[in-house]
Structure 1
C-alpha cells in the first residue's frame, strides 16, 4: 500500500510539472509546446536540486515501462490513413529517412568540428 501511495505521489509531481508548464506556455503564448517546456523545466529542477531524482524515479520508470500503451490510439488512428500512405508512401519514407539521417550527420560533423585539435592528432597517430 505504501508503494502505491508513493507511486501516486510521484505521478502527481510529474503531472504538476507538466500542467504548470502547459499553463505557462499558453499564458505566455510561447512558440514551444507545453510538454516540451515541461521536460525542460523538469530537467532544470533536477539539475538545481529543487526536485530530487528519488522523488520521481518510480513513477518515471512505471510510465516509461508502459509507454507503448500511450501510442496504441495513434496506431489505430493511422489505419484510417491507409489511402494516404498508399499514394504518398515513398515521399513519406524519404521524409522519415531524411529527417533521421540529417540530424545524425550534422551531429557527427559538429562533434568532429568541435573536438580539440590535440585530440584529433592523437587519434590519427594511433
Structure 2
C-alpha cells in the first residue's frame, strides 16, 4: 500500500509540473507547447536539486512502461484523416523519413567530428 501511495504522489508531481507549465504557456502566451516547457522545467528542477531523483524514481519507469496507452486516442483520431493521408501520403512519408534521418545524420557527423578532434588533441 505504501508503494502505491508513493507512486501516486510521484505521478501527482509530474502532473503538477505539467499543469504549471501549461498554465504558464497560456498566461504568458508563449509559442511553445506546455508539455515541452514542462519537460524543460522538470529537467532544470532536477539539475538544480530542487526536485530529487528519488522523488520520481518509481513513477517515471511506470509511466514510460505504459506510454503506448497515451497514444491510443491519437491513433484513433488519425482515422478521421484518411483523405489527407490518401492525398498527401508521399509528402507526409517524406517529411517523416526526412525529419527522422536528418537529426540522426547530423548527430552522427557531429559525434564523429568531435571524436576526431579529441583524438587529434590527444596525440599532440
Deviation of residue 80 (structure 1)? Answer: 1.7
Residue in 2 aligned with 1:49?
A: 49
Matches within 5 A, 1:96-115: 96-115=96-115
How far apart are the structure 2 equivalents of 1:120 and 1:80?
Answer: 55
State the superposition RMSD in angstroms: 2.1
* TM-score normalised by L of structure 1: 0.85
Residue in 2 aligned with 1:6?
A: 6
**Deviations along 1:84-123, whole A, 9 cap, x unmatched?**
212221111111111111111222233334446351587x
Matches within 5 A, 1:1-126: 1-115=1-115, 117-120=117-120
Structure 2: which 5+ residue stretches go unaligned?
none
How far apart are the structure 2 equivalents of 1:120 and 1:35?
Answer: 41
